[in-house]
Chains A and B, each alone.
Chain A
Amino acid sequence: MLKYILLRLLTAIPVLFFVVLMTFVLVRLAPGGPFDAERAVPAQVLENLNKRYHLDDPMPVQFGNYVWNLLQGDFGPSYKYPSRTVTELIATGLPTTIELGFYALCFAAFLGIISGVFAALKPNSWQDYSFMSVAMIGICLPSFVLGPLMILLFGIQFEWLPVSGWDVSPGDKVLPSITLGAAYAAYVARLTRGGMLEIMSQDYIRTARAKGVSRFNVVVHHALRGALMPVVAFAGPAAAGLLSGSFVVETIFQIPGLGRFYLQAAFNRDYTMILGTTIFFASLIIFFNFVADILQAWMNPKLRQSLGK
């Protein structure tokens, strides 16, 4: 198991290097530079700017310098926001993104598991079809459609909840968390339903029920742990997806999270910021997948044994 963990950690290094290299090359290939503006920048000023940010060095030198600074934990200055470094910008946006992702994940897990369990308990009934239809809608409805719809309904029509902002008014976290978590809730519901159906048909469940164990106990204590295996496997990529894929929701609801910085960096050709956020998100995805694998192994003795061999 330890060997497996070490191997997984080591394979992350070339993956990350490849991400840095590809991102570096791709952003430089994109037309338009960080200082292009509607009002043409005078040639002399552009020259000074390029010199100041070492953009006049040959590309391999720039890449070498970037990697060298990166190894020392320096993501460089932001071209767009001259008073801030990329590290500061990531540190500014990250807590909000994590908070949003956490609420969305809680919402997804809570709603998804409950719906999945209830749907599985009455398979092929109208309740099951209702839950799964809603789940299908959740999967199909992109956040840029769901978000504005919720805003119109709960924000504008009923005036129950604020329509944008973060930490500016009570209840401003509800709509974005639901919007971000909806699709994941739907996946969790379907995975839970599938897992529950499989577990509920097992002999030991039948035995437990024959022994007179209450339905609640059978579901919660006997079936749920096994039924949630696919959900746990999904949780890692889901957590990474929630953190790295929140930029649409952050834009719709004007949330000052990292996703919004990421999007703006791409539009601004803020090279260092694009690289910094990409590396950061790539690391998150690698990390969460790694944690999910470890958890799966921990929950599944068969898998643990096979890894031990």
Chain B
Amino acid sequence: MFKQLALLLAAGVLALSGCSEKSLTNVEYGNQNQVLYIANGDEPQALDPHITTGAPDFHVISSMFEGLTALNPKTLELEPGAAASWELSDDLMTYTFHMQPEGRWSNGDPVTAQDFVYSWQRAMSPELANQYAYMMYFIEGAEAFGQGETTDFSTVGVKALDDKTLQVKLTAPTPYFLQILDHHTYYPVHPATIEKFGGMTARVSKWTLPGNLVSNNAFKLKHWELNKVIEVVPNEYYWDADVVKLEGIHFYPISQQQVEERAFRSGQVHLTFTPQMAIEKIATYDQNEPELIHKDPGYSNYFYIFNTTREPFDDVRVRKALSYAIDRESLVKRVTKGGEVPAYHFVPPDPEGHQPKSYFTYDVEKAKALLAEAGFPNGEGFPAFDILYNTHDNHRKIALAIQQMWRTNLNIQANLTNQEWKVYLNTQQNKDYDVSRKAWIADYLDPSNFYDLLLSYGGNNDTGWKSAEYDALVEEAQHELDTTKRWALYEQANKILSDEMPIAPLYFMSDINLIRPNVKNWYGNVLQRHPYKTVYLENEAK
């Protein structure tokens, strides 16, 4: 009988060995056929540029849709997109865009100025409930239309002068408007397709499914299987199709860091695209395969917010003491390890513009003195409080480190509170916390991304902190066209944040990705913009 069992086992082993006969991995196949395989984080919520909100969605959408302007992947300078050129009026409030003469949708239809008018009306329509509609409120009349105060779109400053000319009027001069046009909310959609599948404001629509979706960028949708893969192939009608070398891109929804790393290691993907890889893997790659790990500084920050409506965090001395007692150098060196930059001001340095000053540093003695001044000498009498963070190993490690720093430096006790993502958001928005972690990634290259966060009336200001002076400075800076004056205004706002400390900046984040060396024309940049049209795969020896 045991002989029979042995035979069965042998058969099983043979069957398994049969599988071991090496067939091509995705990477090997991709290298031979110019197909790029990407681990893309979560499954995209939608491929509709006016509905989606997430980064994984953008990674796919940006391969298929193109706004009026585009960004150079190396320098982030403005480049022609669907518009070949543009002019700005003397009052700096009216833009005239000239469309690409050869701009076409993936079904061969020309991309017209009217398509943009239709698309932007759709993106602003309250019925569609686009969560990013507010990004369009720089345009004259857009806010009133978006808020439902009027249904007459002719009151909005967007007009097609002819098929190939689009005019856009702003409410005020906005220095970064051309940059924002590369945001997905400003992408065009194909009007006939939208109408065919339910109309302009139909949120539940089949227009984004394979076979239906019509796009205007270098790639078009071929296949979309939920939780499995999204495949795009070149759009032969694209105005700049000659530069496209890839024959396809496969986006895999892999949300778990460990699974993503394994998929990379086993040759299933050329690159990983989630913003942060598992901390414990970073050192291994640094040591053994440094050519594969890329740590690009991001235009983003990681910080702790204080609930300023609660005691004792309503006392600025307490907030400052807590912030000064954090050893940020140690945090990035020993905990996060991904090339992050310790932050002593809130807004990340803009590579070409605003360079905020630091008004404080790691200073335990000063922190102790401030705490004593606030009535807690040597931490005595300081109530135990909670550090809130959402479920993620990295957040837990950071919170543990800071808990230890506060205990050691200030003799105060912080407890860790871990909550599931939606619960955490809810708790934070209801201001039912003491200290909470938060991070922000910029949509475009301008400090307003960050300063806007702490406006008294800002929807994302969960600190409860309010300053009329700060609001006035930020509002003025938003419309100031003289760059020197603008940075000076922001610097004043930066000083207020350091004086008031409603948040404790911790570090400026890095995007840490694994990328195979044969992926060419893929450049790290602070906005993580990677136009795929010039990317290609070089055959590698191994």
Contact = CB atoms under 8 A, between A and B. Distances in A.
B415 interface: no
Contact of A41 (B1, B131, B252): B131
A256 B226 contact: yes
Contacts of A181: none
A151 B262 CA distance: 9
Contacts of B206: 83
Q: Which of A45, A77, A83, A166 has the most CB atoms of chain B within a 10 A radius of its CB?
A: A83
B243 interface: no
Interface in A156-193: 156, 158-171, 174
Contact of B266 (A52, A77, A163, A167): A163
Which 4 residue pairs spanning A and B have beta carbons closest together? A32-B422, A171-B19, A40-B459, A256-B227
Contact of A80 (B45, B48, B147): B45
Contact of B133 (A43, A45, A154, A268): A45
Interface of A: 30-33, 35-45, 48-49, 52, 77, 80-85, 89, 92-93, 114, 118, 121, 127, 148, 151, 154-156, 158-171, 174, 215-216, 251-252, 254, 256-257, 260-261, 264, 267-269
23 contacts: A33-B426, A36-B429, A37-B425, A39-B131, A40-B459, A45-B133, A52-B203, A82-B45, A83-B47, A83-B205, A83-B209, A155-B266, A158-B20, A159-B22, A164-B262, A164-B266, A165-B228, A167-B228, A169-B23, A171-B19, A174-B19, A257-B227, A260-B227
Given A159-B22, A167-B228, A251-B259, 4 more contacts: A33-B422, A48-B129, A81-B45, A169-B268
A268 B45 CA distance: 10
Contacts of A77: 204
Interface in B448-465: 459-460
Contact of B8 (A114, A156, A252, A254): A114
B422 A52 contact: no
Interface string B250-282: 001110101100110110100000000000000
Interface string B20-59: 1011011000000000000000010111100101000000
Contact of A45 (B131, B209, B420): B131
B384 interface: no
A44 B126 contact: yes
A2 B420 CA distance: 48
A185 B426 CA distance: 43
B8 A44 contact: no
B226 A81 contact: yes
Interface residues of B, number: 62
A267 B421 contact: yes
A160 B2 contact: no
Classify the secondary structure of B's interface with A: loop
Contacts of A260: 227
Contacts of B133: 42, 45
B360 interface: no
B143 to A, nearest CB: 10
A52 B226 CA distance: 24
Interface in B1-16: 1-2, 5, 8, 16
A174 B20 CA distance: 12
B262 to A, nearest CB: 5
Contacts of A166: 228
B350 interface: no
Given A83-B48, A121-B1, A163-B268, A254 B226 contact: no
B263 to A, nearest CB: 5
A82 B46 contact: yes
A161 B262 contact: no
B263 A254 contact: yes
Contacts of A159: 20, 22, 266
A49 B129 contact: yes
